[in-house]
Homo-oligomer: A and B are copies of this chain.
Amino acid sequence: MISAENVHKQLTVGEVAARSGVAVTALHFYEAKGLIKSQRNAGNQRRYPREVLRRVALIKVAQRLGIPLAEIGEALKQLPDNRAPTAADWKVLSEKWSRELDERISQLMLLRDRLNGCIGCGCLSMEACPLRNQGDVLGEKGPGAHFLEAGADPK
């Protein structure tokens, strides 16, 4: 099915979907959100350059890290033009996200330790229980990242 000539062909949505593992509708959705771009052929159908595959791959990985699409979009937008991400770009982003992941992990560990400290106490008092009041564990809602963690297999 794949000839030598096809290697440089642009991809249709269906092909991108098949190769990247995301649904066609999701690709439409990403495009609407500005995460990816496409050109149109004479019949108004989307045609993608091969680099879109790497872009989609990056999106999927970032999602597994719990980064919301909006933030992924921001990150992608900051790549100088709209080229596909290179290894260097990836390094910058992955280091940033790795730090965020560290942060999230340490918050969860702190929470777990408090929970373990409280097991059996049963107080849950508004004033005294360390599991309550102090908003310092999660939800500092300042400028920064608050993200969702969800299953990787949406269905």
Contacts and interface: CB of A to CB of B under 8 A. Distances in A.
Contacts of A102: 112
A108 B104 contact: yes
A19 interface: yes
B137 A115 contact: no
B122 A101 contact: no
Contacts of A155: 141
Interface residues of A, number: 58
Given A102-B112, A105-B109, A87 B122 contact: yes
Contacts of A7: none
Nearest to A147: B149
A137 B90 CA distance: 21
A94 B124 CA distance: 12
Contacts of A138: 64, 149-152
Given A101-B111, A131-B64, A124 B90 contact: yes
Interface stretch (A24-32, A54-62, A74-82): A54-62
Contacts of A45: none
Contacts of A43: none
Interface string A16-59: 00011100000000000000000000000000000000100110
Contacts of A141: 151, 153, 155
A148 B2 CA distance: 42
Contact of A115 (B88, B101, B111, B115): B101
3 residue pairs, one from A and one from B, having the closest CB atoms: A87-B122, A139-B152, A139-B151
